Amino acid sequence: MITIICFLKHLIDIVILFFLLRLWIYFTINNYYNFFVKYIILLTNVFLKNIQKFIFKSNKSEILSFILILLLIFLKYPILILIQSKNLFFHSLLFFIFISIITLLKFLGYLFFWLITIYLIFNIFHIKNNDLNDILDIFIHQILKIIRFFLQNFYNINILLFIINIILYFLNNLFMDLFPQFWFLI
């Protein structure tokens, strides 16, 4: 049973992260000829095509992506509780909305953390001129544009990315201590 719960949790996590990445690509990047962008769109289209057959006939895949993200985030915790304990705890709707908001923030933090980590690894080993690095540059500069308003470079040393990763790691551990009942399930 623990294996099923772990597998289902990680499968839902990966699907949500790919759809968040797809929406971020849609709203920020105009280059759909990039190999990495094509790969993300191809992976998410597998889910969207099957969902469009049964539920929603629309040409706008991004609307369906957004609905799917919200639905998965909202239903993830109740489904995992139902599988784990064989019954569903009846809480108010506000409780599930609160958990959904925290889950969305956790996924955005994970996405930022891993994009920044991959970008830093690429910069350490001087991996340049590939499609993934181009997309990572765009993503990281969008994150840094907001942060540079508050923090500037220290003596021409750009340590903001390390600081952001440390802050995200700290926030993950803080929320793990604040919400130990459901942090590992969401």
Does some domain include residue 184?
Answer: no
> pLDDT value at position 184?
78
Range of 66's domain? 2-178
> pLDDT value at position 19?
93
Does some domain include residue 183?
Answer: no
Does some domain include residue 186?
Answer: no
Give the chain's domain count. 1
In angstroms, rounded to a whole number, what is the distance separating the alpha carbons of residues 58 and 89? 35
Instruction: Characterize 24-35 residue by residue with b for buried, 16 or more Cβ atoms within 10 angstroms of its Cβ, and e for exposed.
Output: bbbeebeeeebe
pTM, whole model, 2 decimals?
Answer: 0.84
Residue 76 or residue 60, greater confidence? 76
Does some domain include residue 66?
Answer: yes
> pLDDT value at position 166?
93
Residue 95 or residue 59, greater confidence? 95
